[in-house]
Structure 1
C-alpha cells in the first residue's frame, strides 16, 4: 500500500475555561441509536490516564470478520500466533476486518495489535480503543462512495499512524483521543490507486508527543477539516495540524507541499485549535 519511507514521514484567543467546558460537555455521556450508553469517564479519558478497563481478554490468532453489528462488550482483543506482530512491518493482517456497512463497537485492542482494523467499505467504529497501536490502528479501503465513521474511543503509542486512508471516500472522526503518536491521519501518499479523500475531525484531544494531526495530498484534491481540537503538552507547538503533500501512484516518497490553513485542503482557523 504505502512505502515504509513514506509512512515514517507516514486565536482569535478564546478564554480557555469556556472552550474547555465545551470540550468536556462534548465528551460527556451520549447515546447512539441501537448503541449502549458510553460513560463520560470513558470519553473524557484523553485528558487523564483513565482509559476503559477491559471486562476480559481474548487472544486472536486469525482475523475476525465482521458484518452487520458486533458489540465487543469491552473485551480486550490482542494478537497471537500469526497476528502477534506489534511493529511497523508492512503487510500485517488486522485483528478485525469489517465488511461494507459493518459496525464494530465497545472493543479494546491490546498489545500486540497487528494491523488493527481494516474497513473494506463504509464502516462505523464506535467506542473502540487501541492500547498500543501496531502497524496502524485502522485502515480504510473502500471506494469513492464509502463513508467511515469513528465515534468515541482513543489510541495510544502509535509509532507511525493511527488512521490510514488507502481507499476513497470520507472519514468522519468525532470525540476521539490520541496519546503518544506520530500521525493521527494520513491520506495514502503513494498508493497504486489514488483518490480524492475527505476527512473531518471534530472534538479531538491529542497529547504530545506527536508529529502531525493530518497529512493530505493536495494534488488529488484532498481536504481535512479540523474543529474543536485540543492539543496537550505541546507548548512549543511542534505538532503540525495539517501537513500537505504532493502524492503519487508510483510508490515514491511524496514531497511536502506546505502546512498552512487555506480553507480548501487544510480547512481550519486558529480558533479551532486550543493548546494547554
Structure 2
C-alpha cells in the first residue's frame, strides 16, 4: 500500500463526559454553536473516560461533491455518499463529500457511511468539530502549497482501514482535541507523490483507541517534522502502536522504505512523558 495522491482526482494513495473547558497549547476550546451539538471532551493524562461521540441531527445523502468557500456550519447533520460517492473502502480515485476552497471553514458536521474520500482542502482550511463515523478512503486530504496552514479542532474518526489524515500538499497541519478509534495510520505525509514538500505536523491533546498501527508517518529526507503533545493511547498495553514512523519518501510512485522510528529531536519531536497509556 503506497501513500501516493496525485493532484486533485486520480492516482490517489491506495490504499463521562465532561463540560470543563480544556486549554490546548494556550488556546481555549471553541464554543461551538448549533442544534444538538456534542463537543469532544479529550482526556487529561489522569483521566479515565473516553471521548463522547455525537448523535446526528438528521441525515443527507450526497451524490456530488459539495464545494465550500467561506464558512459552512452543518448543524451536526450527517452527510453520507450516494451514487458516484457511495464508495466506503480503499478504492482509488474517489471524490470527497466536501471540497474546501483556500481559507474555508467547515464545522459541526458528521460524515457517515459511505464516506467516499471524506474532505479535501485545496489550500488553508479549518475543520471544527467534524466527525467521521466510518472513514472511507481517507478522512481528510490536505492539498495546499508551502504556505498553507490546516487546522483540525475537535471531532474524531472511526474505522479508518488506512489513513485518517493524508497530507499531499505542503504547509503545516495542526490537530487539537481529536479522537481516533480503530485506525491504521492517524497521519501520513505523502510518501510518493509526484510533487514533494517539507511538511510540518503538530498534534495536541489527541486520544487514540486501539486497534491502530501508527500515529504519524513522515519523510525524513524531505525534512518533515511531527510534534506529539498530550497523546492518550487506550487499549494498547503492549505498546504496539508506533508513535512516529519515519520513511524515505520519493516522487516516483515507489513504495517508500521505512527509516526508523521514535523520538530524535529533529523529525519526531516528543518524549515518553507526552504519551499516556490507559
TM-score, normalised to structure 1, is 0.88
Show the counterpart of 2:46: none
Q: Which among 53, 58, 61 is matched to residue 59 of structure 1? A: 61
Relative to 1, partners in 2 of residues 1:45 and 1:85: Cα closer, same or farther, differing over 3 Å? farther
1:43 aligns with 2:40: yes
Between stretches 146-155 and 35-44, larger displacement belongs to 35-44
Show the counterpart of 2:30: 31
Conserved 8 A contact 1:128-1:154: yes
SS of equivalent residue, structure 1 residue 271: helix
2:37, 2:93 → 1: CA distance? 36
Show the counterpart of 1:155: 157
1:2 Cα deviation from its structure 2 partner: 3.5
Show the counterpart of 1:123: 125
Between stretches 259-268 and 216-225, larger displacement belongs to 259-268
Instruction: Provide, for residues 83-123 of structure 1, a one-character-per-residue CA deviation record: whole Å limited to 9, x for no partner.
Output: 00001011100000000000000000000000000000000
Instruction: Provide, for residues 157-196 of structure 1, a one-character-per-residue CA deviation record: whole Å limited to 9, x for no partner.
Output: 0000000000000000000000000000000000000000
1:70 Cα deviation from its structure 2 partner: 0.1
Conserved 8 A contact 1:178-1:184: yes
2:36, 2:276 → 1: CA distance? 24
1:234 Cα deviation from its structure 2 partner: 0.1
1:245 Cα deviation from its structure 2 partner: 0.1
1:49 Cα deviation from its structure 2 partner: 6.9
Relative to 1, partners in 2 of residues 1:45 and 1:170: Cα closer, same or farther, differing over 3 Å? closer
2:79, 2:181 → 1: CA distance? 20
2:256, 2:85 → 1: CA distance? 30
1:89 aligns with 2:91: yes
Show the counterpart of 2:213: 211
TM-score, normalised to structure 2, is 0.88
Relative to 1, partners in 2 of residues 1:24 and 1:254: Cα closer, same or farther, differing over 3 Å? farther
The structure 1 segments of at least 4 consecutive aligned residues displaced by more than 4 Å after TM superposition are 23-27, 37-41
Conserved 8 A contact 1:30-1:39: no
1:71 aligns with 2:73: yes
2:65, 2:36 → 1: CA distance? 29
Conserved 8 A contact 1:93-1:114: yes
2:262, 2:3 → 1: CA distance? 25
Conserved 8 A contact 1:111-1:133: yes
Show the counterpart of 1:171: 173
1:50 Cα deviation from its structure 2 partner: 3.6
Conserved 8 A contact 2:4-2:190: no
Relative to 1, partners in 2 of residues 1:55 and 1:88: Cα closer, same or farther, differing over 3 Å? same
Conserved 8 A contact 1:31-1:38: no
Gaps of 5+ in 1: 11-20
Show the counterpart of 1:239: 241
2:34, 2:248 → 1: CA distance? 42
Show the counterpart of 1:263: 265
